[in-house]
Structure 1
Amino acid sequence: MRRKLAVLAVAVFSLLGLSVAPASAAGGDFAPPGCFGERYGILFGQGVSVSCFPGEGYGYRVIAHCSNGSAFWFVVGDFVPYGFGPAVAECSGALLVPARVYAYEVDEI
């Protein structure tokens, strides 16, 4: 019985280690020059809001790189013309596996 409990404990600790590893390797905390970004929490997830000063092109959008455990995906925000507010992208997860923004990038259009 002790052996089974020990194996179960090792399995749970290794599972928790796998789910924490991508969040601890987070990068991309800085917005590109001319822009400033802010991360914020949502229910079971995280979002990023980026505002940029006028640059080349007509506007911009933010692309969030999301993760929860071992899953990775992208969320593309809506197009925002310069001077009309921030571009927003939100990573949504679930109760036991909340999503995080581990990096983001700004795409000028």
Structure 2
Amino acid sequence: MVLIAVAHTVLFSLIAPWSSWLAGDLRTGAADSDSMATFWALPGGFVVVLALLGLLVARAGRQGHHVPGYVGWAILAWGAFAVSLIGPSGFLSAIVPAGLLIAANVVAGRHSAGSS
């Protein structure tokens, strides 16, 4: 998830109209639709939250904790919904962290069932 967030930020940062944003165009309404879309793809979008979630999941894993399975299923549903709206895109990459979280939850469930 951290890798996806970083890659997304790097990719969109190259086309972001930073000077326009810093000049206040987003606040004043002077920004065009491309500028607004890029804003929602970068600081206004999911990248910060996705990076934080990825760091939180990594920390939990290092400490031996398991993330609930619903986190993986929610990420998978979110990615699938986005792909259904806009077609094949970077949202397809949601399959990787979702699948890993779901698989880890299944494995953790088998281990805990076997130890009872």
TM, length-normalised to structure 2: 0.29
TM, length-normalised to structure 1: 0.30
Question: Which one has the bigger helix percentage?
Answer: 2
Question: Which one has the bigger strand percentage?
Answer: 1
